[in-house]
């Protein structure tokens, strides 16, 4: 099966959901999400049957790269995260309904819910496309497909001030960053006379390059990508948006959007890093951004009291480690490549972050507002959820035998090989800070007594949710013991 | 699956089973008993005739092999040193699980309790049996996390959460420093593997630049040192052991703490011999801090459990002295001391835990004259105290003598620094005699205070695990050769590799 069928199927699936919502009078619209999940499972299986194209001649292949293991891996990540997000959305339905418009008398009690399940599919298609985009235009269009879907999803709870505020912030800053991106693309085209990434790489590596023009392009693109990645100093939107958005959307944003930003950053900056005229300057800037991001994300996470905000800062901190790998691109063959480190990191990040958000959503009926204090004594109320969160936190902190450890280790190894000593030192301090604030949650779950308000409130977790959490726990541990299994998927 | 793999995985699987709802105590006891049987079986089948660093019962599964990153494999194997430590772990694990309270007596989740004990024991065994540097490190971390949880959840005293935090942060920082040192070492060697024997061979063939060695050794010394409560990084130890549940204190002080010493012997010394030489005097000062300063602190303690906690910190100083000697006699003594101290401190914490369950707080001035109503408790405590002091007939004696001889040996004439340090350290024997005998006097001699209700003597359920530990101490004390036959060739091998 040709690889681009996958995106087409996902888009079609999204359209089918919209049609079913519009024309089939569903009793309970959550069936839409279940249908979507089913479809995505099929798409995930189809990933393993993708065939390489016979020839890459023709106009399509100028916009869309031939499939390699890395791009398929990222498509898999996109499908997997969308799948889990839909699962969360099912649990989150009551909250969304309570925060959207009250239906007219006689209207469907779940009016306006269908799109909440269909939109993630369009974002998923965009994410998948992005993994294969190799032309500035297709990068831009796929990135915007994702962003625009997210603008809607973030502000979806229109009766909720927090959600609206998050939506407005995200929209305005996102649009601004898009402007930077397009402007940067224009300069890049001016410097290289091409829009195709392979040709751009060639032009940047060629002698006689106008370095100033190319660096200007780099700077503009960096602003845009730092915004998408949540790298300092363009990270300011992250905490507010993460806190305000509906939790499943926050999860999607932190996993899907970050993965997309990371792969685009990797694709766009690899030509710059491979250019003898530019590499040193580009590396210096990336190192500086990485240091800033690590310091800011991890130190600002320390005093947080809201769990979603904490995860927001932690997501900034994790971007710092991704940038650490990117800034340490090796000059000689036979070393680890940034794509290996970044792909592994994102895979690990996806597993552990989704697990944390699954727990948050599962606890939403009994814990209002995601304050960390409310997680006190969770181990006694629900040992399973506490254990799941413990594994997720351990992995985010980078404790050995979890996936997060190797993610960080690969980034550190690359920085060590590249000789970025300052970056390494900052990274170690950042990791130590992370150790503290992630474990703080584990400690409050296990060591404290449950709050008074929790007396007699039972926590119920659906079987499907439990199964998915157990699966994620298992995958985190497998990737932490045998990272070769994951690396084999993309290298 | 090789028998060694089963040995490592069994406690972990049993922990999983207990966590998922298998009857916790029977599962734990069963697994620990099988582990001890397998460990003894391995010891019987161990070939002592092999010199040099050769793993026995080897198994290896490659887990990651990609360009630019050292090869990672789940690899297990034993040499004489690790065999002795695995034996120690198996012995202490079984007695700790046997001494743990019945499921109904545990406040909170008994599944978590027993699963944690099994994870601590299994993690320790995994760390000692790993021949891959990553897993050596990772198994130790795996054992640390349940240790923290156990102290915070099941510890006693109002400060248990604070204590749990303190030990978490201390050992967490120690592990991080250690990790940095290990990564630096692996990367400086550039051998493209985490396999320990290959790393050591690479270090022997082309030594790391001495300046870098200095840094590596310092990082490893501080990292491992924090884990072993090397002075001045010791302040986590005594409160943690005093407030931990007794089985956890037994497992951590007895077994898990030995990981730091094992790491110094196995990794730091052969990988960075020049670094070790460079920092020798620093090590000597610090270990005298352990022996003399902490020794005096121990004397000043007014509670039995805190006194035992400090005494375990103090005795680590001897082990450091043996390692600092950096010769076959001294290092063999240090390894033997790890075994002996592991058993004797576990025995003491086991006794103290039993007493705490019955009498509550263990302030010395609440007690007296217990020997008469509780002769078996008095006898066992007396044996344990004598062992800890290092009386002949106990493994501790054999170990300490070897350490002192090893540290005093050398070709140079006159009093070298290490000889002075040995003279100082000898006073430690007097100090431990003072506090141990004082403790014995406070608890067992004199008149029984009126308020104290002595109750019945040690029941068989407590006697069996404690006698198990005592048996090990006496066997290795009367016939040190039982263990030395394993230790000697391995330590010889260490220095063969180190010398190129």
Helix (H) / strand (E) element for B424: namely helix B417-444
How far is Cα A95 from Cα B432, in angstroms, rounded to an integer? Answer: 65
Cβ–Cβ under 8 Å, residues A372 and A306: yes
Average pLDDT over residues A385-412: 93
Angstrom distance (rounded) from CA A26 to CA A35: 12
Among A432-441, A472-481, B431-440, where is mean pLDDT lowest? A432-441
With respect to residue A140, please indicate whether it lies within any of the assigned structural domains: no
Asked if pLDDT for residue A339 goes beyond 70, the answer is yes
Among candidates A399, A439, A485 on the partner chain, residue whose Cβ is nearest the Cβ of B141: A399
* Segment B36-52 mean pLDDT: 89
Query: What chain A residue is nearest to B141 in terms of C-alpha separation?
Result: A400
pLDDT band at A391 (very low <50, low <70, confident <90, very high): very high
Average pLDDT for A82-86: 95
Residues of chain A in contact with residue B160, where contact means CB-CB under 8 angstroms, are 447
Q: pLDDT confidence of A489, banded at 50, 70, 90?
A: confident
Q: Tell whether A213 is within 8 A of chain B (Cβ).
A: no
pLDDT reported for residue A88? 93
Residue A22: inside a domain: no
Identify the pLDDT of residue B478.
93
Helix, strand, or coil (residue B257)? coil
Note whether A154 and A249 are within 8 A (CB): yes
Give CA–CA dist B182/B132, Å, rounded: 12
pLDDT at A39 over 50: yes
Label residues A163-182 b or e (16+ Cβ within 10 Å = b): bbbbbbbbbeebeebbebbe
Is A91 part of a structural domain of the chain?
no
Alpha-carbon distance of B277 to B214, in angstroms, equals: 9
Hey, is the C-beta of B72 within 8 angstroms of any chain A C-beta? yes
- The two structure tokens encoding residue B151: 């102290």
pLDDT value of residue B315: 93
Residues B234-261 have a mean pLDDT of 93
Q: Could you tell me the sign of the dihedral formed by the alpha carbons of B281, B282, B288, B291, in that order?
A: negative
Minimum-distance CB partner of A432 among B67, B111, B176: B176
| Distance separating alpha carbons of residues A321 and A298, to the nearest angstrom | 11
A487 Cβ contact partners less than 8 Å away, ≥ 6 residues apart: A340, A344, B64, B66
Mean pLDDT of B317-343: 93
Residues of chain B neighbouring A416 (CB-CB closer than 8 A): 183-184, 187
Residue B500, pLDDT score: 37
Q: How far apart are CA B428 and CA B310, in angstroms?
A: 13
Residue B464 — very low, low, confident or very high, per pLDDT cuts 50/70/90?
A: very high
A7, part of any domain? no
Residue-level pLDDT at B400: 93
Average pLDDT over residues A393-414: 92
Q: Is residue A109 in a domain?
A: no
A53 domain-assigned:
no
Mean pLDDT of A360-373: 83
**What's the pLDDT at B84?**
95
The pLDDT assigned to B499 comes to 45
CA B269 to chain centre: 18
Give bridge partners of residue B76 from the DSSP assignment.
Answer: B59, B130
Number of domains present in the structure of chain B? 1
pLDDT of B496: 61
Q: Are the Cβ atoms of B176 and A399 closer than 8 angstroms?
A: no
Per residue in A230-265, pLDDT tens? 998 898 899 999 999 999 999 999 998 898 899 899
Q: Report how far residue A267's alpha carbon sits from residue A132's, in angstroms, rounded to the nearest whole number.
A: 10
Pick from A219, A230, A291, A237: nearest CA to A261: A230
Of A428, A446, A485, nearest to B180 by CB-CB distance is A428
Residues contacting residue A341 through CB under 8 Å, at least 6 positions apart = A325, A407, A410, A411, A413, A414
Query: Percent of chain A at pLDDT above 90?
Result: 60
In 3-state terms, what secondary structure has residue A66?
coil
Query: B194 or B497: whose pLDDT is higher?
Result: B194
Interface probe with B: pick from A392, A400, A427, A437, most Cβ of B within 10 Å: A400
For chain A, give the mean pLDDT: 90
Q: Give the pLDDT confidence of B266-307 residue by residue, as tens digits.
A: 999 888 888 988 999 999 999 999 999 999 999 999 999 999
Give the model confidence (pLDDT) of A88-100 as tens digits. Answer: 999 998 888 888 8
Token code pair at residue B469: 């530990």
Closest residue to B66, CB basis, from A399, A405, A491:
A491
> What is the ipTM for the molecules in this complex?
0.88
- What would the two tokens of residue B345 be? 């401190």
pLDDT reported for residue B67: 82
Task: Tell me, yes or no, if A335 comes closer than 8 A to chain B by beta carbon.
Answer: yes
- Poorest-pLDDT segment among B210-219, B389-398, B405-414: B405-414
pLDDT digits (tens, 9 = 90+) for B371-404: 888 999 999 999 999 999 999 999 999 999 999 9
**What CA–CA distance (Å, rounded) separates B236 from B175?**
14
pLDDT digits over B478-490, tens only? Answer: 999 999 999 988 8
Q: A-B interface: how many C-beta pairs under 8 angstroms?
A: 86
Q: Which residue has the tokens 């839409």?
A: A32
Q: Using alpha carbons, select from B275, B170, B265, B276 the residue that is nearest to residue B223.
A: B170
Per the domain annotation, does A132 fall within a domain?
no
Distance from CA of A382 to the nearest CA of B (A): 11
Please give the Cα distance from B382 to B377 (Å, whole number): 8
Distance from the A482 Cα atom to the nearest Cα atom in chain B, whole angstroms: 5
Cα dihedral value A215, A217, A222, A224, nearest 10: 160
Residue A35: CB atoms within 10 Å = 18
Q: Is the dihedral of CA B211, B132, A405, A331 positive or negative?
A: positive
Peptide bond into B232 cis (omega under 30): yes
pLDDT for the residue numbered A40: 95
Predicted local distance difference test score (pLDDT) of residue B497: 53
CA-nearest residue to A491 within chain B is B66
**Cis-peptide, bond into residue A52, ω within 30° of zero:** no
DSSP A153: H
What is the Cβ-side half-sphere exposure of residue B250, based on CA atoms within 13 angstroms? 33
Measured in whole angstroms, how far is the alpha carbon of residue B408 from the centre of its chain? Answer: 24
Average pLDDT in chain B: 90
Report CA-CA distances (Å) from B408 to B277, B281, B419.
16, 15, 5
Tell me the per-residue pLDDT of B119-133, one tens digit each, with 9 for 90 and over: 999 999 999 999 999
How far from the centroid of its chain's Cα atoms is residue B51's Cα? 25
| Whether the Cβ atoms of residue B65 and residue B33 lie closer than 8 Å to each other | no
pLDDT tops 90 at residue B82: yes
Domain coverage including residue A486: 286-491
The domain in which residue B130 lies consists of 3-498
Q: What is the pLDDT of residue B498?
A: 44
Provide the pLDDT confidence category of residue B104 given band limits of 50, 70 and 90. confident
Determine the residue of chain B that is closest to A330 in CA distance.
B68
CA A402, A405, A411, A413 dihedral sign is negative
Contact by Cβ (8 Å): B63, A484: yes
Asked whether the predicted pLDDT for residue B159 surpasses 90, the reply is: no
pLDDT, tens digit, 9 for 90 and up, residues A202-222: 999 888 888 899 999 999 999
For residue A185 the two structure tokens come to: 């693309």
Q: Does any CB of chain B come closer than 8 Å to the CB of residue A202? A: no
Domain total in chain A = 1
What residues of B are in contact with residue A405 (Cβ under 8 Å)?
A: 138
């Amino acid at each position: 099966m040709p690889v681009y069928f996958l995106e087409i199927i996902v888009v079609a699936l999204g359209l089918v959901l919209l049609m079913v919502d519009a024309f089939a009078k569903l009793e309970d619209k959550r069936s839409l999400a279940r249908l979507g999940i089913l479809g995505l499972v099929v798409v995930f299986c189809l990933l393993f049957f993708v065939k390489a194209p016979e020839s890459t001649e023709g106009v399509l292949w100028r916009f869309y790269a031939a499939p390699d293991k890395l791009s398929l891996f990222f498509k898999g990540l996109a499908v997997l995260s969308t799948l889990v997000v839909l699962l969360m959305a099912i649990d989150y339905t009551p909250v969304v309904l309570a925060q959207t418009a009250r239906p007219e008398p006689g209207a469907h009690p779940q009016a306006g819910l269908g799109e909440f399940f269909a939109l993630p599919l369009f974002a998923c298609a965009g994410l998948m496309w992005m993994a294969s985009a190799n032309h500035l235009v297709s990068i831009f269009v796929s990135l915007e497909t994702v962003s625009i879907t997210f603008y809607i999803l973030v502000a979806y709870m229109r009766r909720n001030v927090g959600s609206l505020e998050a939506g407005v912030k995200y929209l305005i800053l996102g649009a601004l960053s898009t402007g930077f991106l397009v402007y940067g693309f224009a300069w890049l085209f001016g410097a290289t006379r091409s829009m195709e990434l392979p040709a751009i790489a060639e032009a940047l590596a060629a002698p006689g390059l106008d370095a100033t023009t190319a660096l200007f392009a780099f700077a503009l693109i960096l602003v845009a990508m730092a915004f998408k990645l949540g790298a300092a100093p363009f990270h300011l939107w992250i905490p507010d948006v993460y806190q305000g958005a509906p939790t499943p959307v926050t999860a999607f944003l932190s996993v899907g959007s970050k993965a997309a930003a990371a792969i685009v950053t990797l694709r766009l900056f690899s030509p710059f890093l491979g250019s003898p005229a530019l590499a040193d300057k580009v590396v210096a800037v990336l190192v500086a951004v990485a240091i800033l991001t690590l310091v800011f994300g991890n130190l600002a996470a320390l005093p947080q009291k809201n769990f979603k905000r904490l995860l927001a800062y932690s997501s900034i901190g994790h971007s710092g480690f991704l940038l650490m790998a990117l800034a340490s691109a090796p000059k000689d063959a036979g070393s680890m490549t940034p794509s290996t480190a970044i792909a592994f990191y994102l895979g690990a990040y996806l597993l552990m972050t989704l697990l944390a958000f699954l727990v948050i959503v599962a606890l939403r009926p009994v814990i209002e507002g995601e304050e960390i204090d409310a997680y006190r004594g969770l181990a006694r109320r629900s040992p399973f959820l506490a254990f799941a969160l413990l594994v997720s936190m351990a992995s985010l902190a980078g404790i050995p035998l979890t996936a997060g450890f190797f993610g960080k280790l690969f980034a550190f190894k690359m920085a060590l090989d590249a000789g970025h000593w300052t970056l390494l030192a900052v990274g170690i301090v950042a990791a130590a800070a992370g150790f503290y604030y992630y474990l703080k949650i584990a400690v409050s779950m296990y060591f404290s007594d449950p709050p008074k308000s929790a007396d007699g409130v039972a926590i119920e977790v659906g079987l499907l949710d439990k199964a998915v959490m157990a699966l994620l726990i298992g995958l985190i541990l497998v990737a932490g013991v045998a990272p070769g299994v994951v690396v084999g998927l993309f290298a | 699956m090789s028998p060694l793999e089963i040995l490592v995985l069994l406690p972990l699987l049993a922990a999983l089973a207990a966590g998922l709802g298998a009857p916790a105590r029977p599962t734990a006891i069963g697994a620990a008993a099988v582990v001890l049987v397998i460990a003894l079986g391995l010891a019987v089948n161990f070939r002592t005739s092999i010199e040099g660093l050769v793993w026995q019962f080897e198994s290896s599964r490659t887990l990651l092999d990609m360009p630019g990153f050292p090869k990672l494999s789940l690899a297990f194997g034993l040499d004489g040193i690790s065999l002795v430590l695995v034996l120690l772990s198996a012995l202490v694990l079984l007695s700790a699980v046997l001494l743990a309270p019945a499921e109904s007596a545990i406040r909170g989740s008994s599944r978590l309790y027993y699963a944690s004990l099994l994870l601590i024991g299994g993690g320790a065994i995994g760390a000692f049996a790993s021949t891959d540097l990553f897993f050596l490190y990772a198994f130790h971390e795996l054992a640390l996390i349940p240790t923290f949880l156990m102290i915070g959840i099941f510890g006693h005293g109002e400060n248990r959460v604070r204590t749990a935090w303190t030990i978490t942060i201390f050992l967490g920082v120690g592990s991080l420093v250690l990790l940095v040192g290990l990564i630096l070492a692996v990367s400086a060697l550039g051998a493209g593997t985490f396999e320990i024997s290959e790393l050591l061979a690479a270090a022997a063939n082309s030594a790391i630049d001495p300046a870098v060695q200095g840094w590596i050794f310092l990082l490893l010394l501080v990292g491992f040192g924090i884990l072993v409560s090397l002075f001045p990084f010791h302040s986590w130890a005594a409160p943690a052991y005093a407030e931990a549940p007794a089985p956890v204190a037994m497992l951590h002080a007895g077994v898990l703490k030995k990981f730091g010493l094992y790491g110094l012997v196995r990794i730091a010394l052969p990988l960075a011999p020049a670094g070790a030489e460079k920092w020798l005097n620093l090590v000597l000062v610090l270990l005298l801090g352990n022996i003399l300063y902490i020794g005096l602190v121990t004397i000043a303690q007014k509670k039995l459990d805190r006194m035992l906690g400090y005494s375990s910190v103090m005795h680590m100083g001897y082990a450091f002295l043996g390692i600092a000697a950096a010769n076959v006699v001294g290092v063999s003594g240090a390894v033997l001391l790890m075994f002996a101290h592991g058993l004797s401190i576990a025995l003491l914490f086991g006794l103290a835990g039993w007493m705490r369950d019955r009498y509550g707080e263990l302030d010395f001035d609440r007690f007296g004259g217990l020997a008469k109503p509780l002769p078996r408790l008095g006898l066992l405590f007396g044996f344990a105290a004598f062992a800890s002091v290092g009386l002949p007939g106990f493994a501790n004696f054999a170990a300490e003598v070897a350490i002192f001889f090893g540290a005093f040996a050398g070709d140079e004439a006159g009093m070298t620094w290490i000889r002075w340090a040995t003279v100082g350290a000898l006073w430690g024997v007097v100090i431990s005699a003072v506090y141990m005998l004082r403790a014995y006097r406070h608890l067992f001699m004199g008149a029984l205070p009126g308020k104290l209700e002595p109750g019945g003597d040690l029941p068989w359920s407590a006697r069996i695990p404690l006698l198990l530990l005592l048996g090990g101490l006496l066997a290795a004390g009367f016939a040190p050769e039982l263990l030395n036959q394993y230790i000697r060739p391995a330590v010889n091998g260490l220095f063969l590799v180190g010398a190129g």
